[in-house]
Amino acid sequence: MSSGKWMGLMLLGMLAAASITWLAMKPALDAKKKESLVNTNNELAITHTDLPCDDVSIIRDNSPSLTKPFLYADVSCESDALQSLKQDLTSFIDSQKTSGKISRASVYYKELNSLHWTSAYGEQQYYPGSMLKVPLLMTILKQVQRDKSLLERKLQFQSPNKLSVFVPVQNPMQVGNFYTVQELLERMILHSDNDATSLLFTVYNKELYDDLFLKLSIPVQNADDVYYQISPSDMAKFFRVLYNASYLSSLYSEYSLNLLTKSDFRQGVIQGIPSGTQVAHKFGERFTAGSDVQLHETAIVYRGSAAFIITIMTEGKNFNDLSGVIGALSKICFEQKRAQAPLSNSHKALHTLALISQLIPWLPLALCSRWIIDPVGFRPSKSYRHFLLL
């Protein structure tokens, strides 16, 4: 049989394998679909018996349109199921205050697929610093949803920012060079680049930015207020609506969270999370009016059905001490029992079949290789070499 016919047979086999893979995955996909009817992967997916209390608030977009899209849901009471975590967090913070490593710290912890939450000293407020780059990212992407050409707009970098920081950018922008808005967004999130941020402020919509705060019931930042402060739970709201894809479209919410998973800051939450765990995170640093420094971080930790969000805000004398405390607090959150909930059966089936689906399409190649490869001396035939170059 000619090599062309064998090539056609191989491609037909690959198509058949792909069909078999889809048929094999269909039961798991159906199970996942049924599960999503009960648990829609956002904070509305709560059964009454799982509520920490009955005081539930549904926060919707209050725009003047007839539709009022869901943004997020909250309950006023902390979860009894997370009281042991609250005690562990509070005890650790108190011990670090006693040791002199911090002057204060706060933690907000929330399960992303339920309404359960807790906090330790969560009522305190802090200077957010670079964490406000997240709402700036969201504002500009909201503008991009209306005008996609904005991403390709080029801005010239003219003068560097003079702010003193503990975490300098390793590959700073070059004066005189032009950068697209998309490049600036990525530099701002991946490297917390203040120069990129300054340029982005020349194209952001201030009204949209303020409106985002209002929609999330967060006090609006006055542009002239260098002492603006925010609570850990309010800071987490930006991440929550990204996770829910309830402010930006699914496409731009996914893009935002993907950027946040690539942040090169490794001195905080990441220290307390096992290697290989996906984390979308953003840190912020800021000097206080006195001689103290503040270091904070918000992170979404992906753990299947046990995904959670944490905001840790700290203040003290030494940056390294603060980063160590953040790492230790994130470890306490990750290791508590409810965060270790096993993946659902449909999640496991999908993960397994996804791996199989990557392997099955290559089986026809393996089965046909005896004919694709010249049997005399196993020299690759011309058709096989051509296949490798496709």
Of 39-53, 58-72, 174-188, where does the model show the most confidence? 174-188
Distance CA 62, CA 71 (A): 10
Percent of the residues in the chain that have a pLDDT greater than 90, as a whole number: 62
| Average pLDDT estimate for 105-114 | 96
Cα 144 from Cα 288, distance rounded (Å): 35
Residue 106: which of 337, 314, 245 has the closest Cα? 314
Q: How confident is the model at residue 143 (pLDDT cuts 50, 70, 90)?
A: very high
**Residue 27: predicted pLDDT:** 59
In which band, very low, low, confident or very high, does the pLDDT at 355 lie, cut at 50, 70 and 90? very low
Q: Please list, residue by residue across 312-339, b when 16 or more beta carbons sit within 10 angstroms of its beta carbon and e when fewer do.
A: bbbbbeebebbbbbbbbbbbbbbebebb
169 has a pLDDT exceeding 80: yes
Does 216 have pLDDT greater than 70? yes
Quick one: pLDDT band at residue 26, thresholds 50, 70, 90? low
The answer to whether the CB of 206 falls within 8 A of the CB of 142 is no
Lowest mean pLDDT among 163-167, 190-194, 203-207, 288-292: 163-167
Q: State mean pLDDT over 211-223.
A: 93
Average predicted confidence (pLDDT) for the chain: 82
More confident residue, 162 or 329: 329
Predicted confidence band at 63 (pLDDT cuts at 50, 70, 90)? confident
- With beta carbons less than 8 A apart as the criterion, state whether 246 and 142 touch: no
The angle formed by the CA atoms of residues 122, 124 and 127, to the nearest 5 degrees, is 120
User: Taking residues 12-33, what's their average pLDDT?
Assistant: 59
What local confidence, expressed as pLDDT, does residue 359 receive?
44
Is the predicted pLDDT of residue 347 greater than 50, yes or no?
Answer: no
Q: Which domains does the chain have, with CATH numbers?
A: 3-38+345-388 (no CATH), 70-112+119-340 (3.40.710.10)
First to last CA, the chain: 22
Please give the pLDDT value at position 348. 47
Lowest-pLDDT range, 34-43, 264-273, 308-317? 34-43
Instruction: List, for residues 66-91, the tens digit of each pLDDT value.
Output: 999 999 999 999 999 999 999 999 99
Q: How far apart are CA 211 and CA 63, in angstroms?
A: 10
CB crowding 50-63: b at 16 or more within 10 Å, else e: ebbeeebeebebee
> Average pLDDT, stretch 337-354?
53
pLDDT recorded at residue 353: 45
3-class DSSP assignment, residue 271: helix
What is the mean pLDDT of the segment spanning 221-239? 92
171 pLDDT above the threshold of 50: yes
Q: How far is it, in rounded angstroms, from Cα 88 to Cα 274?
A: 19
Please determine, for residue 246, whether its predicted confidence score (pLDDT) is greater than 80. Answer: yes
pLDDT computed for residue 125 by the predictor = 97
Is the pLDDT score of 337 beyond 90?
no
pLDDT on residue 289: 80
Model confidence band, residue 16 (pLDDT cutoffs 50, 70, 90) = low
Residue 3 has pLDDT above 90, yes or no: no
**pLDDT for the residue 133:** 97
Give me the mean pLDDT over the 9-18 stretch.
65
Task: For residue 13, give both structure tokens.
Answer: 């086999």
Cα separation, 334 vs 85, in Å, equals 10
